[in-house]
Amino acid sequence: MFSNQQIDTLPRHHTIKFQPLADNAIWHVQINWLLFYIPLMTVIVAVRYFNQPFADAVSAPWLLLLPVLVVLSMLYNLYSVRVKGIALREHDIAYKRGLIWQQVTLLPISRVQHTEIHRGPIERKLGLATLRLYSAGGMSADLHISGLTDKQCNDIRQFVQSYGYDNHAAVDELVDE
């Protein structure tokens, strides 16, 4: 018999206790941004030095705007990394991010097809890693969490991989009884 009852109380995602990212996560973000801004500023200064028409068109106050932009983006990065958090629960993984546009992603562990751990050169130097979780039918990662320690990534990966096995073992024990 088919039943479709009204649900009166819904679970609330704001009650989830999120754990912050690793302490070095802010350094990873800041270094990546500096690796973008420093060459950009160098190119602009070099072009301005060697190209007189460009130097005339771009006045000094406009060039001072770029360092201000760098400082503002570094401050934004500082606060945005502090807002991010992860929660590993019994049946899902929750990831919170966003300083202005806040987003909470819940991924049921039973839907995870495979996981990847990525460690770039900066992440390796800082002892960090990025965890990518893929669910069925997608070409890209459904959940991409950077700023975790290598140990956290491996522990979460092990938990996700053993999730289905533990459930099947419990079902097999019930069937045997």
* Residue 103: per-residue pLDDT: 93
* Residue 25: per-residue pLDDT: 96
**60-83 vs 25-50: helix axis angle to the nearest 10?**
170
Task: Kindly report the pTM of this predicted structure.
Answer: 0.78
Residue 28 lies in a domain: yes
106-154 pLDDT tens trace: 999 988 988 999 999 999 999 999 999 998 777 677 899 999 999 999 9
Q: Which residues pair with 144 in a beta bridge?
A: 132
Domain shared by 71 and 153, yes or no: no
Three-state SS at 49: helix
Domain shared by 125 and 168, yes or no: yes
Do 148 and 22 touch, CB atoms closer than 8 A? yes
Residue 7 lies in a domain: no
**Of the residues 32, 47, 81, the one at which a domain ends:** 81
H-state helical runs in the chain = 25-50, 52-57, 60-83, 121-126, 150-176
Residue 61 lies in a domain: yes
Residue 44 lies in a domain: yes
Number of structural domains found in the chain: 2
Domain shared by 54 and 100, yes or no: no
Question: What are the mean pLDDT values of the chain's consecutive 10-residue runs (177 residues total)?
Answer: 80 83 95 91 81 74 81 94 94 93 91 92 96 83 91 94 65 44
Give the HSE-up count for residue 162: Cα atoms under 13 Å, Cβ half-sphere: 8
* Residue 166: per-residue pLDDT: 55
* Residue 167: per-residue pLDDT: 54
Type of residue numbered 156: I
Please report, in angstroms and rounded to a whole number, the separation of the first and last CA atoms in the chain.
29
Q: Which domain holds residue 100?
A: 85-176
- For residue 152, give the CATH number of its domain: 2.30.29
